[in-house]
């Protein structure tokens, strides 16, 4: 019974630490890919009608605005951008993509584009063509040096309506950042070419801002808005991806509650073992009590028996869980090999591999939960043994 209880506690703690490590790694990887390939703050102009009753086409003095914002406290980069959605076509295949028009130096300052998971081609030739995500290249069958056709419905306006704009570009660079939705939809285009392609000559659609501490982006927002002045508003990465972050937080809470129940069930095995121990050692307890051993001493003896199972089982579970988090890549690769591959689908998980991050607070919470439950459930059978009447224990001896 003690061995079974020990294994139960060990496996429960291992499962709890492994799950906490994976969910911490999942959130960290998810957030890193968001803040590594997207603007931390997006500055937009407030829609308003001009003297002719028409909406302005975008931010006109974008370079001056970028200089003011870049000087704000905590801002590391501010760059104008032209952004739009178009249809991409190549080799008889089509797909919707999102075009980001930026200058070469601004593209190189994006962390996950500067240091992607993998890349092909030459980013230094950016001004001669476009840089596309690996997912687009795979779907359209493209490689460096091939031609991609971009089709925009907002083209040239003529007497018979608007003619779609169709332009061919050379693929000079292919990147993979590890997020399925980015690799599958994003194309970077030279800023001046994007202005021409989207009929935005002399303007930018938005300002892309990076800050030194993305987790504290809300503290940087007042300084950015003060630098922009009136007529502009800002959206943070938390505003854009808040739904995903709340879903991850909800999943974290649910998983912790479920695995806490698993630890509780494992700890209850200690109770059954101690109850059997108290029943089998009733004669010995009676003899010790008649010899003058106090109730407190009997309680401590049985409490130590049950608590030692919890402590040793927790220690084994911590070691197993930490090793799993550290060596998760070879372990997951082995599981993927045994099951024939296809276990991880990036299109559903949005990241290319299973992450794990071993955090001290997660390990301490698992240890505290396991030891707390183990000590708590041990007290009651130990107290029962301590309050055993020596006369009843030795009645039939």
Structure tokens, 15: 């499962």
Residue 143, pLDDT score = 92
Instruction: Dig out the tokens for 138 from the structure.
Output: 């795979």
- The SS3 of residue 17 is helix
- For 91, the 3-state DSSP assignment is coil
Query: 322-331 contacts: CB < 8 A, separation 24 or more?
Result: 322/17, 322/358, 322/363, 324/14, 324/17, 324/18, 324/21, 324/356, 325/17, 325/18, 325/21, 325/22, 325/25, 325/356, 325/357, 325/358, 326/358, 328/21, 328/22, 328/354, 328/355, 328/356, 329/353
Buried b (16+ CB within 10 A) or exposed e, 99-130: bbbbbbebbebbebbeebeebebebeebeebb
What Cα–Cα distance (Å) separates residue 390 from each residue in 102, 278, 287?
A: 86, 13, 7
* DSSP class of 186: E
Where in the chain does DSSP place strands (E)?
Answer: 41-45, 75-90, 93-102, 118-121, 130-133, 147-158, 161-176, 186-190, 206-211, 232-236
CA atoms within 13 A on the CB side of 58: 19
Asked if 220 contacts 41 with a C-beta cutoff of 8 angstroms, the reply is: yes
Q: Is the pTM of this model over 0.85?
A: no
DSSP code string of 112-134: HHHS-SEEEE-GGGGGGSEEEEH
The whole-number pLDDT of residue 258 equals: 85
| CB contact at 8 A, 66 and 209 | no
Nearest Cα neighbor of 307 from 384, 368, 364, 376 is 376
Rounded Cα–Cα distance for residues 378 and 302 (Å): 8
Distance CA 270, CA 153 (A): 70
Q: Which pLDDT score is estimated for 148?
A: 94
How far is the C-alpha of 205 from the C-alpha of 162, rounded, in Å? 21
- Residue 89's pLDDT is 93
Question: CA 106 to CA 80: how far, in whole Å?
Answer: 9
Q: State both tokens at 55.
A: 């909406």
- Strand pairing class (130-133; 161-176): parallel
Q: What is the pLDDT of residue 348?
A: 47
Is the Cα torsion angle 362, 366, 371, 372 positive or negative in sign?
Answer: positive
Q: pLDDT tens digits for the chain (397 residues)?
A: 778 888 888 888 898 888 888 888 888 877 887 888 888 999 988 876 655 555 656 888 899 999 999 999 999 999 999 999 999 999 889 999 999 999 999 999 888 888 888 899 999 999 999 999 999 999 999 999 999 999 988 766 666 666 788 899 999 999 988 777 788 899 999 999 999 898 888 889 999 999 998 888 888 999 999 998 888 889 999 888 878 788 878 888 888 888 888 888 887 777 777 777 767 766 666 677 677 777 778 778 878 888 888 899 899 999 999 998 888 877 777 777 777 765 555 554 555 566 788 888 889 988 998 888 888 888 877 777 777 666 565 555 5
- Structure tokens that stand for 94 in this block: 């089509």
Residue 64: predicted pLDDT = 92
Handedness of CA 346, 351, 357, 363 (dihedral sign): negative
Q: What is the DSSP string of 187-214?
A: EEEEHHHHHHHTT-TT-BSEEEEEES-G
Strand 147-158 with 75-90, pairing:
antiparallel
Residue spans per domain, the chain? 2-29+244-393, 47-230
């Amino acid at each position: 019974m003690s061995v079974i209880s020990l294994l139960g506690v060990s496996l429960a703690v291992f499962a709890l630490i492994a799950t906490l490590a994976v969910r911490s790694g999942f959130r960290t990887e998810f957030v890193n890919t968001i803040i590594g390939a997207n603007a931390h703050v997006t500055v937009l102009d407030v829609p308003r009608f001009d003297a002719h009753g028409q909406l302005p086409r975008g931010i006109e003095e974008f370079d001056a605005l970028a200089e003011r914002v870049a000087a704000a406290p905590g801002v590391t980069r501010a760059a104008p951008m032209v952004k739009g959605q178009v249809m991409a076509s190549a080799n008889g295949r089509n797909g919707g993509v999102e075009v980001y028009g930026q200058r070469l130096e601004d593209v190189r300052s994006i962390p996950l584009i500067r240091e992607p998971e993998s890349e092909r081609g030459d980013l230094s030739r950016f001004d001669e063509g476009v840089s596309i995500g690996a997912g687009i290249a795979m779907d359209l069958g493209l490689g460096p040096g091939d031609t991609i056709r971009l089709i925009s419905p907002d083209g040239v306006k003529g007497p018979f309506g608007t003619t779609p704009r169709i332009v061919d570009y050379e693929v000079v660079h292919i990147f993979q950042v590890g997020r399925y939705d980015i690799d599958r939809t994003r194309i970077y285009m030279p800023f001046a070419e994007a202005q021409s392609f989207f009929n935005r000559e002399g303007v930018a659609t938005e300002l892309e801002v990076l800050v030194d501490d993305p987790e504290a982006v809300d503290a940087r927002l007042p300084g950015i808005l003060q630098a922009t002045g009136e007529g502009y508003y800002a959206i943070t990465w938390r505003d854009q991806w808040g739904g995903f972050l709340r879903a991850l937080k909800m999943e974290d809470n649910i998983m912790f509650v479920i695995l806490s129940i698993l630890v509780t069930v494992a700890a209850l095995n200690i109770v059954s073992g101690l109850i059997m121990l108290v029943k089998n050692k009733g004669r010995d307890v009676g003899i010790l009590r008649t010899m003058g051993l106090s109730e407190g001493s009997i309680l401590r003896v049985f409490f130590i028996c049950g608590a030692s199972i919890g402590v040793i089982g927790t220690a084994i579970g911590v070691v197993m869980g930490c090793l799993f988090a550290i060596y998760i890549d070879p372990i997951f690769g082995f599981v993927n090999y045994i099951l024939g591959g296809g276990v991880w689908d990036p299109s559903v998980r949005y990241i290319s591999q299973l992450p794990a991050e071993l955090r001290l607070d997660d390990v301490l919470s698992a240890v505290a939960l396991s030891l707390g439950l183990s000590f708590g459930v041990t007290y009651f059978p130990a107290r029962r043994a301590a309050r055993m009447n020596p006369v009843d224990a030795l009645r039939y001896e």
